[in-house]
Amino acid sequence: MTTDGPLSDLVVVDLTRALSGPQAAMMLGDLGARVIKVESPSGDDTRNWGPPFVGEDDERVATYFLAANRNKESITLDLKAAEDADVLRKLVRKADVLLENFRVGVLERLGFGVEELHELNPRLVILSITGFGHDGPEAHRSGYDQIAQGEGGLMSLTGSDQPTKVGVPIADLLAGMNGAFGVLGALHERTRTGRGRVVRTSLLASIVGVHAFQGTRATVAGEVPAPAGDHHPSIAPYGMFATATGPIQIACGSEGLWQALCSVVGIDADDARFATNPDRVANHDLLCELLEKHFRGEPAEAWLEKFAAAGIPSGKVRSLDEVYDWHQTRSQGLLLEVEHATQGQLGLPGSPLRFDSQPYSGGRSEHLPPPTLGQHTQAVREWVADDPT
């Protein structure tokens, strides 16, 4: 199978399941790599993570699986069976990248540890994603997004009254993104060294890695951040506000924007309580009360028009159906239409990357639908059959 795109000369063997690894593999596939997803005979767990499902009976598939598995082929292998393990060895010899997110030690017990893999293919770049890291006192723990969001501190920053998880599996998604980024670095290094190396990341590392200014509040300022709800803890006004018809969001990230907001709303920009950003943060509740008193006098759309005219960053809070119907989303190629083997035409969220002269997201001219279980088993077996070893 041939593709186009920046990575069209690469073959990726994807041994991962659930979300972190499949996300990384899909990102590489979006850029044109040939991604061969190796599944157990029962398939990736996410094929059954529903509802919601689409399709009927034997053709039923979870929409969860569809979200992270476009631009891949699927082959089923039982790695405990000698014949199937041999097929994987042949795949490894042909591959540029191998991705795995087994618990620590599992791949070694199957006979595919790092040494064995590099003996088969010294140029192989290996991405290993774990829950809490491949070493250290808690390396043995299983990695699930819900747990990682809590253990990594993200839930302590999110919500208002109690720790709250992010509405998507953000630890998994970030681990996948970090993993794909690391793979590209290792591939670039391989052009100089001629050898592959192991790239490691984890759900825990990926959560800690996005603490950003909240992290330095703890490590440098000695503050323990608390949930800030829908408002920024260090900038004001910067958050969500009620109007006569619904919520809007504004982001005044400079004194100039604060002055412009005051002009539009009709409040005193020189009020000593709000004269500087530290003053506004210190008097945040009072400031929000004052602003919402004005905002509730007019509908959301009227305020958004005024803010747009004044150059004040602002926006509405859209539901997901509104997002995918939005002309701006569609103009960026963020809704992909693919033809699924059993489900027909499907609309999938697209890649966040665009390359010049392309009207759609991702780095390839044609996107493949998520595969059915084992859809490409015969074709892949025939492809590796010419390996004489």
Would you name the residues annotated as active-site residues? 172
Tokens of 299: 């509908």
Identify whether the C-beta of residue 1 lies closer than 8 Å to the C-beta of residue 156.
Answer: no
* H-helix or E-strand spanning residue 240: strand 238-242
Taking the mean position of all CA atoms in its chain, how far away is CA 359? Answer: 22
361: left (phi over 0), alpha (psi -120 to 50) or beta: beta
Count CB-CB contacts under 10 A for residue 180. 23
Tokens of 386: 């010419």
* H-helix or E-strand spanning residue 75: strand 73-76
Nearest-angstrom CA–CA distance, 141 and 104: 9
Q: How many CA atoms lie within 13 A of 365 on its CB side?
A: 4
Ordered alpha helix ranges (H), 275-343: 277-282, 284-295, 300-310, 320-325, 327-331
96: left (phi over 0), alpha (psi -120 to 50) or beta: alpha
First-to-last alpha carbon distance for the chain, in angstroms, is: 22
Tokens of 94: 């042909």
Count CB-CB contacts under 10 A for residue 297. 12
Nearest-angstrom CA–CA distance, 68 and 52: 15
Looking only at the bridges linking them, the beta strands covering 53-54 and 61-62 are antiparallel
Angle at 65 (CA atoms; ends 61, 68), nearest 5 degrees = 150
| Residue whose tokens read 């004052």 | 290
Report the C-alpha dihedral over residues 204, 207, 210, 216, rounded to 10 degrees: -70
